[in-house]
Amino acid sequence: MQFVVTAYDGENMLDRRMAVRPRHLENMSALGKKVVCAGGMLDENGKPKGSVMVFNFESREELDAYLKTEPYIQEQVWADVRVEPINVVVVNGEKVGK
């Protein structure tokens, strides 16, 4: 099952985000192919303001278990995290789903 996670940083979190970022990236890398794609959202000045990630987990419960280990959540960088099921159909111009 695929999920899109949209996470918005809290106010004045840029310094904390950058300090926590290596742990966040390490945690994400450990997921391997469960990460379909991921990246930072940027504000009008090109500064990070949040993240968007597409995951492929067996269930919402498995995703929730991962999110409990997410450094940006543990360190309260993200103030608003939204999760929606998604049907990924095209990746890098190739049809991969229905």
CATH number of the domain that residue 70 is part of: 3.30.70.1060
Residue 63: its pLDDT value, please? Answer: 98
- How far apart (Å, rounded) are the C-alpha atoms in residues 76 and 16? 9
pLDDT band at 96 (very low <50, low <70, confident <90, very high): confident
What is the residue range of 12's domain? 2-88
Position 94 pLDDT exceeds 90: no
Give a yes or no: residue 10 inside a domain: yes
Give a yes or no: residue 44 inside a domain: yes
pLDDT tens profile 7-27 = 999 999 999 999 999 999 999
Give a yes or no: residue 82 inside a domain: yes
Give a yes or no: residue 77 inside a domain: yes
pLDDT band at 68 (very low <50, low <70, confident <90, very high): very high
Our CA angle for 59, 55, 47, nearest 5°, is 140
Give a yes or no: residue 93 inside a domain: no
The total domain count for the chain is: 1
Give a yes or no: residue 94 inside a domain: no
